[in-house]
């Protein structure tokens, strides 16, 4: 059984700085995840060449797969570092588990494993992913909803804007305007809301632009990597239909009726 962890960490001081890897070796502890391994390295950041280097930089907050901030490429797979147990994701090589950590590629690099996910939140603004209200006073009982709709809305609401789906989507790139699957899923979530639905036509108008749903290539990578099981392909197919109906109604002069 392996008794050590050999962690190969991507290092880059800034997005324009040269990149390299530092390899660290630490003792394996029971139920250790990637974040706890990085914390151990930070205590004494000496690489396997015996050189003292700056401690690795990464993002993390909740450490229980809720905040979505610790997303990174782990042995070539995009996932949450806090729920990635070394014994599950490490490659056994002799007496060690080998793990390679790299930052997400679809977001601007800040440093090492840390990236700027701001564009995901900007895309949520584009699809108006909120419920419009005109005050904080008591609005009374909410409108009753079909239980199937409620269950779908709950599944969509589990999105934590972690970026896994965006990273895995082949349609998202520097050359593409596509907002990505997360924003599309949230557009459906708020279209299904009794009050959020009042902005549905504005969302549909956006989703029929070059940034919207027509740029989806239906690769379905997004749903495969989503750590929360958000039904992204269902949302995309549903909004494909809804945007088609929306455009037909516009063509027939029935929009808004």
- Per-residue pLDDT, 255: 64
Burial call 156-186: b when 16+ CB within 10 Å, e when fewer: beebbbbbbbbbbbebbeeeeebbbbbbbbb
- Per-residue pLDDT, 137: 73
CA-angle at 212, arms to 154 and 73, nearest 5°: 70
What is the mean predicted confidence (pLDDT) over 202-227? 94
Which residues face 80 on adjacent strands?
A: 71
Per-residue pLDDT reduced to its tens digit, 179-193? 999 999 999 999 999
What contacts 24+ positions apart, CB below 8 Å, involve 47-54? 47/22, 47/23, 48/6, 48/23, 48/24, 53/11, 53/22
- Give me the domains of the chain, ranges plus CATH numbers: 4-111 (3.10.20.30), 117-251 (1.10.1060.10)
- Per-residue pLDDT, 230: 97
- Per-residue pLDDT, 144: 79
What is the mean predicted confidence (pLDDT) over 4-14? 97
Phi/psi at 67 (nearest 5 deg)? -85, -30
The answer to whether the predicted template modeling score (pTM) of the entire model surpasses 0.75 is yes
HSE-CB of 143 using CA atoms within 13 angstroms:
9
pLDDT band at 162, cuts 50/70/90?
A: very high
């Amino acid at each position: 059984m392996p008794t050590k962890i050999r962690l190969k960490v991507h290092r880059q001081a800034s997005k324009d700085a040269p990149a390299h890897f530092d390899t660290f070796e630490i003792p394996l502890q029971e139920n250790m995840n990637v974040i706890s391994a990085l914390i151990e390295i930070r205590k004494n950041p000496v690489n396997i060449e015996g050189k003292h280097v700056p401690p690795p930089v990464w993002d993390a907050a909740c450490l229980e797969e809720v905040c979505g901030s610790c997303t990174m490429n782990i042995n070539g797979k995009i996932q949450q570092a806090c729920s990635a147990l070394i014994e599950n994701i490490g490659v056994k090589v002799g007496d060690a588990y080998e793990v390679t950590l790299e930052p997400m590629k679809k977001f601007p690099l800040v440093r090492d494993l840390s990236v700027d996910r701001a564009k995901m939140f900007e895309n949520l603004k584009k699809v108006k992913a909120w419920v419009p209200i005109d005050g904080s006073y008591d609005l009374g009982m909410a409108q009753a909803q079909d239980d199937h709709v409620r269950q779908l809305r709950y599944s969509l609401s589990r999105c934590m804007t972690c970026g896994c789906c965006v990273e895995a989507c082949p349609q998202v790139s520097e050359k593409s305007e596509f907002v990505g699957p997360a924003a599309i899923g949230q557009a459906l979530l708020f279209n299904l809301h009794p009050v959020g639905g009042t902005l549905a036509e504005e969302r549909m108008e956006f989703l029929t632009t070059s940034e919207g749903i027509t740029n989806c290539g239906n690769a379905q990578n997004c749903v495969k990597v989503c750590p929360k099981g958000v039904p992204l392909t269902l949302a995309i197919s549903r909004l494909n239909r809804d945007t088609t109906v929306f455009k037909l109604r516009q063509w027939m002069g029935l929009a808004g009726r």
